[in-house]
A and B are shown apart, each in its own frame.
Chain A
Amino acid sequence: MNDMRLTERAVDTNQLKITARDVQVFYGDNHAIKDVTVDIQDKTVTAFIGPSGCGKSTFLRCLNRMNDTIDICRVEGKILLDDEDIYDKRVDPVQLRAKVGMVFQKPNPFPKSIYDNVAYGPKIHGLARSKTELDEIVETSLRRAALWDEVKDRLTAPGTGLSGGQQQRLCIARAVATSPEVLLMDEPCSALDPIATAQVEELIDDLRSRFSVVIVTHSMQQAARVSQKTAFFHLGNLVEFDDTTKIFTNPEDPRTESYITGRIG
């Protein structure tokens, strides 16, 4: 574990963004998530780690109700975003997803130009009053995703023509453009090479200044590098949730220690 570089950045704020209480998720008869209780703070990077199939992605997808698109999936318990139950009947999942953006495991740019990819969210939600404003949003989002310099001369080129790392940053720019309050990232670097990964990680650290970021990752090094808080999932249970430094240096649960030292996983 010598290669693990722990970030000693202090958490800027202690304001809670998302509170999850006793969340259960069922896929048909399969009880995928059991009694998960977690507090996600604003302007913080929270990492979900754990072996494959432990439910971390499933739980992440509960936070913006992406699981609604799967017919057999059922969610119980309470998830509050700014003290508002997101599974309440009055909440419009579509509005919720605008507030809780998502970046997926595989880069999935739309079959549109780079410009239109980024402008997609703002156009749908009417965030820009004029073409100039939209141009500005696109530029800031691309800058924030550290992609502007690479694509500013070819904004009309198809987004699908970029390299893998560029595509993923385009997807991040696309998510950022809707000005979400929380950004969920589902293994955003698993399809990228080390250089692109480093770029995306740097980006995640930047994004922390504006929103709360939740990242699911298989790489413990990555969790250690980018997050302030880490949650360890195992077999659908949340085993341990604490400051990243604590989880990686002095875990309380023996299962966490085994996973981090590579004995289970």
Chain B
Amino acid sequence: MPVIWILTLILVFSIIGFFLGRARAMTSAGGDMRSLHSLPSYYGYNSALFLAVPSLILLGLWLILQPIYIESRISSLLPETAISEDTTRSLVMSDVRRVAEGLDVAVDQGAMTADEARNIRTEFVDVRERLGSVGVALGSEVDAPILNAAQQYRELSSTMNIVMTVLVLALGAAGLTFSYVRTDKDFRARNVVESVIKGLLILASTIAILTTVGIVFSMLFETRNFFTQYNWVEFFFGTVWDPSFSGRGGLSEFGLIPLLWGTLYISFIALSVAVPIGLFAAIYMSEYASPRMRSFAKPVIEVLAGIPTIVYGLFALITVGPFLRDFIAEPMGLGSSSSSVMTAGLVMGIMLIPFVSSLSDDIINAVPQAMRDGSFGLGATHSETIRQVVIPAALPGIVGAILLATSRAIGETMIVVLGAGAAAKLDLNPFEAMTTVTVKIVSQLTGDTDFSSPETLVAFALGLTLFVMTLGLNVLALYIVRKYREQYE
């Protein structure tokens, strides 16, 4: 049975379970809601949850584990001879899967009967042609062991599917029965529902944490692979970035320093644009602007945050870059490239303004009015009050906003590609084209790449470096916020 049907069934039965549970609770209370421990709907939820949650968990686990199990079973059935010299077991397995899917499609479209699909032999039928006629293109002729394995694959999947359907529905029925039998007027359904909800919330946060851990580990493994092929001292301290792709031959040099320099330089320029403008805008909006002005200006500034970065990139490429080149860089003799650190930095700074201003605005608004009154009451002017009382009180939050903007700046890619170019260079001149870590990650992974060469694996090392940098920033932010919290509250 297709998974969507199982899900529908579970849903339908849950709704039925809801009414069953509620009805039983009402009956046990003699129709008087007041003698129940919980509201009647809680008994209903209790039954529905006991039906749905265990069966859904089983279904989820089964769907994850089934392919792994079938894969290993079929793979062990494949004879050594089926794997020719220039290929690997996993490639043959993907052929098997493809043929199996092809047979499924053929059966679905009526080009083959189910019996035919189960019994055809390469000796009598040109499988490649038959499957090609239903739109499944195969790379090579299908030989006997592969077809055989594909047929077993189909058979095993369909048996497993039936077992799964039966088990999931049985578990649902068992859950419903269990909760139905437990339901009577003294049963604390409200507390059970409460703990199930808590469980769901815990599950959600666990998934988020596990994903992070998973990302870190996948990068760690690939990075370790990279460092087995490339010296880490040269990576971290090398000043030349010159990867050579397989076509050209020759040795690659992966020096992190030019990329790191580009990243930090561009981020620095971006923040020197975004932090003052954003902070001043926030102060104006929260302290001086009339409510009408504020209700207009705040959304307008926040529109900046909604513009896709690629659009900012275009703005940098077409407008800001040539402008800076024609009116500043060339007259001053600083270079003739329209892609420059300054271009990317300025445009990125504009992009970051709403991050700084919007968060700071909320935080400044959260400073109690009593603080301002106290300062006004002592004869301080508005700006003295802001400088000496409001900003220090809001400082932890403002630092948080700035660090958030910094993380964004470090991770930004599109604006850099279009604004600053892709040349890894170590230079002080802000009108020179440079590039950042993220841009190089993209360029190392696009195009024809072999996922085991250092040219590709270096991307993971770069990614991990970025991750560690932003993690460090976040830790720093937490430290600063905590330090000032202690002082100010």
Binding site for B on A (CB under 8 A): 64, 66, 69, 71, 94-99, 101-104, 106, 108-112, 120-121, 124-125, 158, 160, 171, 174-175, 178
Q: Contacts A111-B393, A111-B487, A111-B488 hold; do A94 and B381 have CB atoms under 8 A apart?
A: yes
Within 8 A of A (CB), among B345-376: 368, 370-376
**CA distance in complex: A127, B249 (Å):** 76
A181–B435 Cα distance when bound, in Å, is 64
Most buried by A among B290, B374, B392: B374
| Cβ–Cβ contact B368 & A108, under 8 A | yes
Closest 8 CB pairs of A and B: A98-B379, A102-B377, A111-B488, A108-B370, A97-B379, A121-B378, A108-B374, A111-B393
List, in ascending order, chain A residues with CB within 8 A of B380's CB: 94, 120-121, 124
Determine how close the nearest CB of chain B comes to the CB of A89; give it in whole angstroms.
17
Within the complex, the shortest CB–CB distance from B325 to chain A, in Å, comes to: 47
25 residue pairs bridging A and B, Cβ less than 8 Å apart: A64-B377, A66-B376, A66-B377, A69-B373, A69-B376, A94-B379, A94-B380, A94-B381, A97-B377, A97-B378, A97-B379, A98-B379, A101-B378, A101-B379, A102-B373, A104-B370, A104-B377, A108-B370, A110-B371, A110-B392, A111-B389, A111-B393, A111-B489, A121-B378, A174-B374
9 additional A-B pairs beyond A69-B376, A108-B374, beta carbons within 8 Å, are A66-B373, A71-B290, A94-B380, A97-B378, A101-B377, A101-B379, A110-B374, A120-B378, A174-B378
Our count of residue pairs bridging A and B at CB distance below 8 angstroms stands at: 77
A104 to B371, CA, bound (A): 10
Which residues on B sit within 8 Å (CB–CB) of A106? 370
Q: How far is the CB of A162 from chain B (nearest CB, A)?
A: 13
A95-B376 in contact (CB<8A):
no
**Bound complex: CA A108 to CA B389 (Å):** 11
Residue B116 at the chain A interface, CB threshold 8 Å: no
User: Considering residues A94, A109, A160, A175, which has the most beta carbons from chain B within 10 angstroms of its beta carbon?
Assistant: A94
Q: With a CB–CB cut-off of 8 A, which chain B residues contact A71? A: 290
| 0/1 interface trace, chain B 283-314, chain A, CB 8 Å (1 if under) | 00000001000000000000000000000000
Distance in angstroms between the alpha carbons of A178 and B388 in the assembled complex = 16
Interface mask (B165-200 → A, CB under 8 Å = 1, otherwise 0): 000000000000000000000000000000000000
Tell me, yes or no, whether B384 is within 8 Å of chain A by CB: yes
> In the complex, what residue of chain B is closest to A113 when comparing beta carbons?
B487
Q: How far is the CA of A111 from the CA of B366 in the complex (A)?
A: 14
Tell me, in angstroms, the Cα distance from A30 to B392 when the chains sit together: 36
Contact B379 A171 (CB under 8 A): no
Would you give the 0/1 interface string for B383-398, flagging 1 where the beta carbon is closer than 8 Å to chain A?
Answer: 0100011001100000
Closest to B393 in A: A111
Q: Within the complex, which residue of B370, B379, B389, B392 is in contact with A95, where a contact is CB–CB below 8 Å?
A: B379
A119–chain B nearest beta-carbon distance, Å: 11
Tell me which residues across on chain A come within 8 A of B378, comparing CB atoms.
97-98, 101-102, 120-121, 124, 174-175, 178
Inter-chain CA distance A69–B374, complex, in Å, is: 12
Residues of chain B within 8 A of A158, CB atoms compared = 487-488
Closest to A116 in B: B388
Given the complex of chains A and B, what is the CA–CA distance between A175 and B378 in angstroms? Answer: 6
In the complex the two chains form, is B375's CB within 8 Å of A120's CB? yes
Residue of A nearest to B373 (CB): A104
Could you say which residues of chain B place their CB within 8 Å of the CB of A99?
379
Q: Which residues of B contact A108 (CB under 8 A)?
A: 368, 370-371, 373-374
Please give, as numbers and ranges, the residues of chain B lying within 8 Å of A175 by CB-CB distance: 377-378
- The reply to whether A121 and B379 form a contact with Cβ atoms under 8 Å apart is yes
In this complex, the member of B370, B376, B393 whose beta carbon has the largest number of chain A beta carbons within 10 angstroms is B376
| Nearest chain A CB to B399 CB, angstrom units | 14
Give CA–CA (A98, B290) in the complex, Å: 26
Chain B residues with CB under 8 A of A110: 371, 374-375, 388-389, 392-393
| A3 CA / B45 CA spacing, docked (Å) | 61
* Neighbouring A residues of B374 by C-beta, 8 Å: 104, 108-110, 171, 174
Bound-state Cα–Cα, A48 to B379, Å: 23
B-side contacts of A121, CB under 8 Å = 378-380
CA distance A99 to B392 in the complex (A): 26
Which of chain A's residues have a CB closer than 8 A to the CB of B379?
A: 94-99, 101, 121, 124-125, 178
The CA-CA distance from A125 to B381 in the complex, in Å, is 10
| Bound Cα distance from A106 to B370, whole angstroms | 8
Bound: A110/B388 CA distance, A: 9
CA distance A109 to B381 in the complex (A): 17
- Write out the residue numbers on chain A whose beta carbons fall within 8 Å of the beta carbon of B370: 104, 106, 108
Nearest B residue to A109 by beta-carbon distance? B374
In the bound complex, how far is the Cα of B380 from the Cα of A98, in angstroms? Answer: 8
Closest to A96 in B: B379
Instruction: Please name all residues of chain A whose beta carbon is closer than 8 Å to the beta carbon of B392 when the two chains form the complex.
Output: 110-112
Is the Cβ of A160 less than 8 Å from the Cβ of B375?
Answer: no
Residue numbers in A under 8 Å from B381 (CB-CB): 94
Q: Please name all residues of chain B whose beta carbon is closer than 8 Å to the beta carbon of A109 when the two chains form the complex.
A: 374
With both beta carbons as reference points, the residue of chain A lying nearest to B488 in the complex is identified as A111
Cα(A206)–Cα(B200), bound, Å: 62
Closest chain A residue, CB of each to CB of B291: A71
Closest A residue, CB atoms, query B377: A102
Chain B residue at minimal CB-CB distance from A157: B487
B488 surroundings in chain A (CB, below 8 A): 111, 158, 160
For the complex formed, measure the closest distance between the CB of A240 and the CB atoms of chain B, giving whole angstroms: 28
Identify which of B372, B378, B392 gathers the most chain A CB atoms within 10 Å of its CB: B378
Most buried by B among A95, A111, A112, A125: A111
A64 contact set on B, CB distance < 8 A:
377
Assembly CA distance A69 to B371 (angstroms): 13
What 1/0 mask marks residues of chain B from 448 to 489 whose CB sits below 8 Å from any chain A CB? 000000000000000000000000000000000000000111
